[in-house]
Structure 1
Amino acid sequence: MSLGNWLNNKENNSGIAVEYKRGHTWHQITWHEYLNKIVLAGEVLLKNGFNPKQHVGIMSSTRWEWAALDMAILGLRGVTVPMYPNLSDDDLIFIINQSEIKILVVEDEKEYEQVLKVRKKLEHNPILIRFIDIDFDQNVEDVQRNYYLQSCLKIKPKDIATIVYTSGTTGQPKGAVLLHEAIISEVTESFDLFDVKPNFKSLTFLPYAHVLGRIEHWGSCYKGHTLAYAESIEKIKSNLLEVKPDFLIAVPRIFEKVYSGIMAEVETNAIKQKLFSSALAAAKEVQLLRRTKQTIPWGLLLKYEALSKLVFSPIHKAFGGKLLFAVSGGAPLSPQLAEFFSSCGINILEGYGLTETCAAIAVNQPSNNQPGTVGKPIGDVQIKFAADGEILVKSKKCLVEYYKNLEATKASIQDGFFLTGDIGELTDRGFLKITDRKKDLIKTAGGKYVAPQKLEGLVKQDPIISQVLIHGDQKKFVSALISIDELPLKNWADSQQITYSHVADLYQHPALKVRLQKHIQSVNSTLASFESIKKFEIISEPWTVENGSLTQSLKVKRKFLEGKYADTIKEIYD
């Protein structure tokens, strides 16, 4: 099986491959039309001197043209090098030089001008193409289509498909080399678990420079369902209502934002709070009885059904009203958040994987979901654990090397197993459970190990909290830096009738500190004493990708933030 097989099967398919919005109108592209657009993208590459095995960069936000170009590159037996559109100049120069990109396709003038600006520092100047230079609406001749499809059929499993650079939190990016067999193994073995039908629809918004986003696209080519492209991250909320997806693939931050919005709305009214709490309690009780296969008292069932329709229906409608399940990956999803959505009737399936494993190596299934775990290993995946609990993985899905980085390759691949850098364990039922990133583990002055991501997930349960950085390495106690979400903060202040001239006034308001202190105490009640958060500081500046505080996959950059707020951290411990 290959990418060529998937597209050959859809050559005369009138089903919808893509939906996208321009202005106020959603447009559709059939599979037959989509194949033609892939062929046209390939023609542009060929006219610019493309040859098999050459490296082609794509520097753009997520859009259907990105996906079509990717399929053109792969089908013509080239190597795709995905790049974020907001790369720093240094990372842009490094990736172009190291990966030896021959052709670079950029989204618009902004990226075009950035490449021109750094051109003198490039070891070999790639041919520059903008998406507007590709006419996706030309007629396609049979000879062009046949050339592309025949090229697809020449792809070999061991051919390099893509070099994906990890965003990382420190140091230069590393290019994970993934083969075609990794893509086929990942896509077929994971999507078969979800029983996705050709008439399904998914709303896609993950960056295609992140391997999980491309798995979603390749999965649509395999299964034949429709990918609807969100206008932007900011418009996901309205796009969900318009698209009405059957399933979603997202990162935890999306679900955290939805949760924050729900809880912020609930907090505006005492009656809403009471109803919501009653509905949630009834739902949790019913779910526990169902999991343990016990009889549900009819009174509890009636209460649950009545409150669910009243309280949880708006949550379902917020996801479009048709959502069967959602897959969460790219970062840890807190068990509390998974349980919350499960109680609301939204089935979130957490998975686990890395760029180096071509996305998921384990995932929960709709019929077998164990919140608090990342599911069972997928397909050919073999897992073992190092003495310190580090997860080691062997699979066709894994990278073969870091491109032109022998030192990193030797450090990460040993005896055929990839060293993930994550600590975990298998439950007695065979589900994989992640404890934390090995390099992120905090060792307190008392010699106790603390998993910061676990604590950060718990603290972020408060809807006005946007991001958290846990600190405490070689310290007597654990502390937290807390970044506040401005909109929920203002809504809360208004509901509490707190007067303020500027939102900045709220960050140091005593009522906010009292609220956060109560929340931290609640979190601490679930923790061992050595991992309890003893002090915290509120950070007024938002943490974003743009200001360098978050990675492209929305994870906190620990070293960067610890350096930036070194004085604040010092004051906490003085």
Structure 2
Amino acid sequence: MREKEWGVWQKRSWREYALAVAEFAAGLEVLGLGRGDIVILIGDNRPEWLIAELAIQCLGGIALGLYQDAPADEVAYIFELSEARLVVAEDQEQVDKMLEIRESVPALQHVVYHDPKGLASYQTAGLQPFEAIRESGRQGRADEALLGELDERIAAIAPDDACLIATTSGTTGRPKLAVLSHKNLLAMAHNLGLADSKHESDEFVSFLPLAWMGEQMMAVASALLFGFAVNFPEEPDTVQNDIREIGPHLIFSPPRVWENMAASVRVKIMETTRFKRFLYEKLFPVGLRMADTRFQGREPSAGLRLQYFLATRLLFNPLKDRLGFSRVRSASTGGAALGPDTFRFFHALGVNLKQIYGQTEIAGISCIHRDGSIDFDSVGAPIAETEIRIAEDGEILSRSPAVFLGYYRNEEATAETINEGWLHSGDAGYFDDANRLVVIDRLKDVMRLAGGTQFSPQFLENKLKFSPYVKEAVVLGRDRDFVAAIVCIDADIVGRWAESRLVTYTTYQDLSAKDVVYKLIREEIREINETLPEPTRIRRFALLYKELDADDGELTRTRKVRRSTVWERYKGLVEELYTTAGEVNLEVQIQYQDGSLREMRGAIRLQDV
């Protein structure tokens, strides 16, 4: 692994990695932790997270990762449920969060941190630096003795032992705790590798939350099985530059990351020189034609191949280099559906982007596109050892060695999710003529208009979010006469667009209410509507005066919309969208990350498309 510190990549060999795990495991044992104990980890992506995770697993314990932006009350809920006695918290921000909830969770005895900045004056019982735990584990013993002890610990572990608890996204309320075994994770990594090869010489950059199952799938399970290097950026703000320096061979990100990258490219093209903009406008359609030809399984003509060769040299290679994709061999997306426009964008650049489908409860993956059989309607075919069938009501059911052990302390939810070995996904789908799985939407989210037309709100939302000016969208229409949408603009991109036209504004609320911004978004929706069947076109919309936020319960930590929360929270706005009203006064309570509350109010215009 590597971590960038002070502008320099510091590397750690597999032997050094193993020694750090051995020392930390022994140090945890000194504190009385061992088999069956749950240890919580929270913070940004750092080597210490992986070292701590493997150390507790070597003792027969279970690691439980939390998102670094999780508010204190959500963290307290997880602690109460898991009864964890120790947490590895990255820095002062996370330590403060732990100390805040400590009185309400008496089981918490030890808080271990690995970034000491700002913590020198803290005098709290049970608060210790990461290196102190390692030192107590070493106790003057030689490296070989520690590594031998590590081998003995691993030999005592059974494949079916629980090793990881992953929080579900919780789109309908509190997250559930999915328990996974060593076998679950390694079977998944092995079978994913058969469908999408990984090599010891590969490089991977870990920048997405390690609490997310997708990052566990790559940075932990696949990295251990195939032996590739995991790289940690210096700071969240330096991720793009650090990716460019490493030039990873493997990229796995949820749709929001791919959507943001595509939007970023399009915005920078708008702001670049006239010559570069001319090149993009002339050559990018060549990439789209090549991508569409390949999607259709046709052989490109000699003329198209020549044009694409020139476009690659002049435009696509420089663009990929700027994105850090110059060496990417395996690029994939999962966690939610990726819009077809974003898919076409990256394939036009020459990035072989594939869709992955799965759930936390199946260790992250059950299907993936294969080379030569990539399309943007399906999520590919099942990986090895995975069976998928469609239930009578259209629900996708899966069975494989990667299906989880169950939800921690929630037998009722486990029984609802696993029935006779089959995992109930809650997603609606079907197999196409090529035996590839097509996921429609969440079973409970598929909507039907009053006239009987069925549609997927997620599909329409993805179409909207392909616009660089749209950050988030919630599509409405269940049992209504037409489809409507609540849209959140991208403040950064729309702000730059407004400034370039000498439009002044003060706040997000002020910007989202501007006439020119409404006109801009209306034109974007009109273009999108041209690609949609007549009954499912968006007829009316409103620009929300705030972004949807996980701290307000409107999004999950993986940025999935909690529809029921949004509908309930903005009930007045939803109802008025289906009247002839031109404006609605809205008042909501917003919550900051520190837990403080503020009332927000204002008029929101309702616009016909």
Matching of residues 408-487 of structure 1 within 5 Å = 408-487=413-492
CA-to-partner distance for each residue in 1:365-406, whole Å, 9 max, x for gaps?
345433332121112111111112110111111122111112
CA spacing shift, 1:421–1:106, aligned 2, 3 Å: same
* 2:516 aligned partner: 511
Q: How does 1:217-256 map to 2 (within 5 A)?
A: 217=219, 218-256=221-259
Equivalents in 1 of 2:243, 2:208: separation in Å? 14
Aligned to 1:6: none
Q: Whole-Å Cα distance in 2 between the matches of residues 237 and 408 of structure 1?
A: 40
Q: Residues 403 and 293 from structure 1, CA distance in 2 versus in 1: closer, same or farther, beyond 3 angstroms?
A: closer
The residue number in structure 1 matching 2:206 is 204
Q: How does 1:22-421 map to 2 (within 5 A)?
A: 22-122=5-105, 124-131=107-114, 133-135=129-131, 141-217=143-219, 218-268=221-271, 272=276, 274-290=278-294, 296-320=300-324, 321-366=326-371, 368-421=373-426
Three-state SS of the structure 2 residue aligned to 1:360 is coil
Whether 1:556 and 2:552 are equivalent positions in the alignment is no
Matching of residues 530-569 of structure 1 within 5 Å:
530-569=535-574
Cα separation, 2, equivalents of 1:143 and 1:229? 29
| Cα distance change on mapping 1:30 and 1:430 into 2, 3 Å | same
Mapped contact 2:291–2:344 kept (Cα < 8 A): no
Answer whether contact 1:40 1:140 (CA < 8 A) is retained: no
1:220 maps to a residue whose letter is A
Q: Which deviates further from its counterpart, 123-132 or 190-199?
A: 123-132
**Given residue 261 of structure 2, which amino acid in structure 1 is its aligned partner?**
V
1:455 partner SS = helix
Give SS of 1:176's match.
strand
After superposition, what is the alpha-carbon deviation per residue over 1:468-513, rounded to whole angstroms, capped at 9, x for unaligned? 1112223222111111112211332244x23314364442333322
Moved more, 128-137 or 527-536: 128-137
Give structure 1 stretches of 5+ with no counterpart.
1-17
How does 1:486-505 map onto structure 2 within 5 Å? 486-495=491-500, 497-502=501-506, 504=508, 505=510
Q: 1:459: how far off? A: 0.6
- In the alignment, the residues of structure 1 paired with residue 299 and residue 577 of structure 2 have an alpha-carbon distance, to the nearest angstrom, of 52
| Aligned residues of 1:334 and 1:372 also touching (Cα < 8 A) | no
Unpaired stretches in structure 2, ≥5 consecutive residues: 116-128, 580-609
- The one-letter code of the counterpart of 1:214 is Q
The one-letter code sitting in structure 2 at the alignment partner of 1:260 is A
By how many angstroms is 1:300 displaced? Answer: 3.2
Structure 2 CA distance, aligned partners of 1:293 and 1:440? 32
Give distance in 2, aligned partners of 1:394 and 1:124.
36
- Change over 3 Å in CA distance of 1:158–1:301 after alignment to 2: closer
CA RMSD of aligned residues (A): 2.2
Change (3 A) 1:526 1:115: same
Please tell me whether the aligned partners of residues 470 and 481 of structure 1 are also in contact (alpha carbons under 8 angstroms). yes
Shift, 1:45, TM fit: 0.7
Give the aligned residue type for 1:178. Answer: L
Offset of residue 266 of structure 1: 2.5
| TM-score (structure 2 length as normaliser) | 0.86
- Give distance in 2, aligned partners of 1:257 and 1:276: 19
Which one is further off, 171-180 or 389-398?
171-180
1:114-146, Cα deviation, whole Å (9 max, x unpaired): 233223322633433223522268775322221
1:53 CA displacement: 1.9
- Contact kept, 8 Å, 1:244 with 1:319, in 2: the verdict is no
Structure 1 stretch displaced more, 477-486 or 94-103: 94-103
Structure 2 vs 1, CA of residues 290 and 550 (structure 1 numbering), >3 Å: closer, same or farther? closer
- Give % identity: 25
Query: Secondary structure in 1 aligned to 2:402?
Result: coil
The Cα offsets for residues 317-366 of structure 1, whole Å up to 9 and x where unpaired, read as 12322222311111111122111110111111110111111101111234
**Secondary structure at the counterpart of residue 159 of structure 2:** coil
Q: TM-score, normalised by structure 1?
A: 0.91
Size of the alignment, in residue pairs? 556
